[in-house]
Amino acid sequence: MSNDLETLESGVVADIAAASDEAALENVRVAALGKKGSISELLKTLGKMSAEERQVQGPAINGLKNRVTEALAARKAELRQVAVAARLASEKLDVTLPVRQSPAERGRIHPISQVIDEIAAIFGDLGFSIAEGPDVESDYYNFTALNFPEGHPAREMHDTFFFQPDENGERKLLRTHTSPVQIRTMEMQKPPIRIVIPGKTYRQDSDATHSPMFHQVEGLVVDKSANIGNLKWVLEEFCKAFFEVPSVTMRFRPSFFPFTEPSMEVDIQCDRSRPGEVRFGEGNDWMEILGCGMVHPNVLRAGGLDPDEYQGFAWGMGIDRIAMLKYGMPDLRAFFDADVRWLQHYGFRPLDMPTLFGGLSS
Ligand code: DAH
């Protein structure tokens, strides 16, 4: 019997030593000391023994039980130590590592988005609101309603991207300018109208200064007295605020657009004598920046307004080019390459929102 006890004890002790985690150790405990465990079964035999036998076996079995209980407790403490050490090692944190920047710190606003925000801030301050329209337009809004007669050569000058005709034979197109939103706004809103329309425009044209997708901002004022004097003042205020110079000199040249009469192109005085730099408000050069004019009576009519009652002025300007000028970005194509390095260099911080009181670009 005592031999059996020794064999049992060395077996259980070996199992305890071999248990590699607390769950395995618990299995060993149940197998030895659980209700039907090997040692528990031995303890049950004591009741059926003679008094003499029990005097010998009682201390032997109980001694075995106590030693196994202690061995289990000791191994449990050991395994817990090991588990804690492993967890500490796996959850180690190097507090000397540099802190990772938050997305709001790392992200950059594209210069076009920033310039559109600047334009919105300037015209918002002058009492204008923002209007938008679809990029995919009908021939009617892009041309006909804007007084481009069918077959007029001005349509050809727009290098339009057309879609396949639909089942009704109507050919949708990618708008070639933001002017269609003039008509859409007049259809929806009674004068006085004071809106600016920033957005994407499309023409089949691509080189260092032209991209097939580019951006324009359109302006439209319609009321009972809007005149060229107002137009000139608004454009001058805009150019001073946008280029952040105290004064600008502008030159209005006669031109032609189907949707305005009279029509003008506007040049802004600049200095291009320093290489790679353009300065406004000084110098002997002129740079064309926009087209404008008094809204043609046919356009007012197309917008549902009576030209004997209402009059208005409008202008259209390329955003990409004035952004290039203002922020010294030499190649337009880089605008749309989605190169993160370019954006890191020329982009703006997300929370630096342009305001007139805080400074547009500072
Ligand atoms: N839509 C013209 C263009 O893309 C620009 C333009 C000129 C818009 C005169 C106007 C305007 O509103 O009055 O070339």
Query: 77 and 128 in one domain?
Result: no
End-to-end CA distance of the chain: 94
pLDDT at 253 over 70: yes
Structural domain ending residue among the three candidates 37, 61, 90: 90
Ligand 1 atom nearest residue 220's Cα:
12
Query: 132 and 75 in one domain?
Result: no
Compare 199 and 154 and report the one with higher pLDDT. 199
* Helices 111-125 and 319-327, packing angle to 10 deg: 100
Q: Whose CA is nearest to atom 6 of ligand 1?
A: 316
The rounded Å distance from CA 256 to ligand 1 centre is 10
pLDDT at 2 over 70: no
Q: Give which of 279, 242, 239 is closest to 359, Cα–Cα.
A: 242
Q: Give the span between the Cα atoms of 128 and 234, in whole angstroms.
A: 11
Q: Give the span between the Cα atoms of 256 and 244, in whole angstroms.
A: 30
Q: Is the dihedral of CA 174, 184, 139, 261 positive or negative?
A: negative
Q: Whose CA is nearest to atom 5 of ligand 1?
A: 316
Query: 195 and 321 in one domain?
Result: yes
314 lines ligand 1 (CB under 6 A): yes
Q: Give the span between the Cα atoms of 246 and 32, in whole angstroms.
A: 94
Going from the C-alpha of 125 to that of each of 38, 121, 243, the distances in angstroms are: 90, 6, 16
The rounded Å distance from CA 209 to ligand 1 centre is 18
| Percent of the chain residues topping a pLDDT of 90 | 71
Q: CB of 266 within 8 A of CB of 250? A: yes
Q: Give the span between the Cα atoms of 236 and 250, in whole angstroms.
A: 7
Q: Report yes or no on 82 lying in a domain.
A: yes
pLDDT digits (tens, 9 = 90+) for 328-348: 887 888 899 989 999 999 999
Q: Give the span between the Cα atoms of 260 and 348, in whole angstroms.
A: 36
Q: Whose CA is nearest to atom 4 of ligand 1?
A: 177
160 lines ligand 1 (CB under 6 A): no
pLDDT digits (tens, 9 = 90+) for 265-319: 999 998 888 877 778 878 888 989 999 999 999 999 999 999 999 999 999 999 9
Residue 244 assigned to a binding site: no
179 lines ligand 1 (CB under 6 A): yes
Q: Report yes or no on 19 lying in a domain.
A: yes
Please state the φ and ψ torsions of residue 209, each to the nearest 5 degrees: -115, 0
Q: CB of 222 within 8 A of CB of 311? A: yes
Query: 160 and 309 in one domain?
Result: yes
pLDDT digits (tens, 9 = 90+) for 157-173: 778 999 999 898 888 99
Indicate which CATH number applies to the domain containing 221. Answer: 3.30.930.10
Q: Report yes or no on 353 lying in a domain.
A: no
pLDDT digits (tens, 9 = 90+) for 79-111: 999 999 999 999 998 889 888 888 878 889 999
Q: What is the pTM of this model?
A: 0.72
Q: Report yes or no on 201 lying in a domain.
A: yes
* Cis geometry, peptide bond prior to residue 180 (ω within 30 degrees of 0): no
Q: Give the residue numbers spanning the domain of 253.
A: 108-346
293 lines ligand 1 (CB under 6 A): yes
pLDDT at 1 over 60: no
Query: 281 and 194 in one domain?
Result: yes
- Best residue among 123, 160, 177, 294 to mutate for probing ligand 1's pocket (most ligand atoms within 8 Å of CB) is 177
| Structure tokens belonging to residue 72 | 């289990």
109 lines ligand 1 (CB under 6 A): no
Q: Whose CA is nearest to atom 2 of ligand 1?
A: 316
* Tally of domains within the chain: 2
